[in-house]
Each structure stands twice: as structure tokens, then as C-alpha cells.
Amino acid sequence: MNKRFLVTLFIFAMFSAWMISCSKAEGETNISTHKEDESHYKGDNCMNCHYQDGAGEGWFSIAGSVYDNYQNHTVLAYDALTQELLASVEIDKLGNLYTTEDVDFKNGIAVHIINSSGQIVSSMSTIVTNGQCNLCHDGTFEEIIEIL
């Protein structure tokens, strides 16, 4: 009986280790591009589904929606202290952006939107500490973007 218990415990431990090793954080890549139009729910908080155990494809570090003219634009996220570029995320055809790439938010991030020529067309007026853009940018609070 004791041997059976140990074998069962071992099998359970191995299965648990296998499940942990297959988490989204370790492999699912999902990054928006200018040419895609498969995103959805513009204005909703993407991280409601796209988190480690969520139903969405990939665990997003930065995701949100951009309004106005966004064709072929890119969101740049810089470390607020060192000014190091942390992420460059293209806005898709529907105005959404998302990435599963690791982003370090410990110093906060400064955010700019650039056009296809590389010119800054918009900048966040504040430093942010997470990548859930649609917590504020849901189509009703656009004034936090400073249009240049």
C-alpha cells in the first residue's frame, strides 16, 4: 500500500511539473504587426484574457488600442530612468497593439507613438508602470495622450 501511494505521488508530481513547464509565460509568442487585422475588442482591457492562465492566446506584457490615424504607426516604450528602448510594438490595422515580449516596468515607462517615417507623433504625458493601456485608453480618456 505504501509503495502504491509513493508511485501515485511520483506520477502526480511529474504531471504537475510538466503542466508548470508548459505555461504561456515560457513560449507563446503573439506580437501585433501593421499588416494584421485579426485582433479584437478594441478599447477593452486585453489583459482580462491575455494573462498567464487566461483564455487569450499569449500572455501580453503591453497591449491596448490607439485611436485616430494609426496606420503604420508604432508604439515605443522606453525605461523612464535610463531611456533604454524596452519595446517597439506595431499597431495593427484595427488600431490594437500587443506583445508577449518581456518588458521591465521597474523604473516606469515613457511611451511615444511614431509614424512610418520614425517621427514622434504622440507622447504620453505621464510615466506608466504597467502595460495595460486600455485601463485608461478605452476611447473615453484620450486627453492623456499629448498630440504633437
Residue-wise pLDDT tens digits, 30-66: 899 999 999 998 888 888 898 888 888 888 999 999 8
Predicted confidence band of residue 70 (pLDDT cuts 50, 70, 90): confident
Residue 15 lies in a domain: no
Distance CA(133)–CA(128), nearest Å, equals: 9
Residue 4 lies in a domain: no
What domain range includes position 73? 29-147
Residue 19 lies in a domain: no
Match 511611451 to its residue by C-alpha cell. 111
pTM: 0.75
| Percent above pLDDT 90 for the chain | 48
Residue 8 lies in a domain: no
Phi, psi values for residue 4, rounded to 5°: -60, -45
- The pLDDT score that the predictor gives to residue 139 is 66
Across the range 12-34, mean pLDDT stands at 56
What's the total number of domains in the chain? 1
Segment holding 88, helix H or strand E: strand 85-90
- The pLDDT score that the predictor gives to residue 101 is 93
